[in-house]
Amino acid sequence: MPEILKVDTNISEEFVLSRAADILAEGGIIAYPTETFYGLGA
């Protein structure tokens, strides 16, 4: 099941970045928005 984390004032940005790094280290994929499209990180 996908995990969705939103960067806002209720969740620390450090937590979100740390979790994204953990997902990538485990071989997962992350999606993140930019000004023009959604990017994928692997």
**What is the number of helices (H) and of strands (E) in the chain?**
1, 2
In whole angstroms, how large is the CA radius of gyration of the chain?
11
0.85 cut: is pTM over it?
Answer: no
> Could you tell me the two tokens for 13?
């940005």
Residue predicted with more confidence, 25 or 40: 25
Nearest Cα to Cα of residue 3 among 31, 33, 41, 27: 31
Provide the residue ranges of all domains of the chain, joining segments of one domain with +: 11-42
**Which spans in the chain are helix H?**
13-25
Model pLDDT, residue 40 = 75
For residues 8 and 29, what is the distance between their CA atoms, to the nearest angstrom? 21
pLDDT in tens, 1-31: 788 777 776 777 888 889 889 989 999 888 8
pLDDT, residue 1, reads: 76
Q: In this predicted structure, what is the pLDDT of residue 21?
A: 92
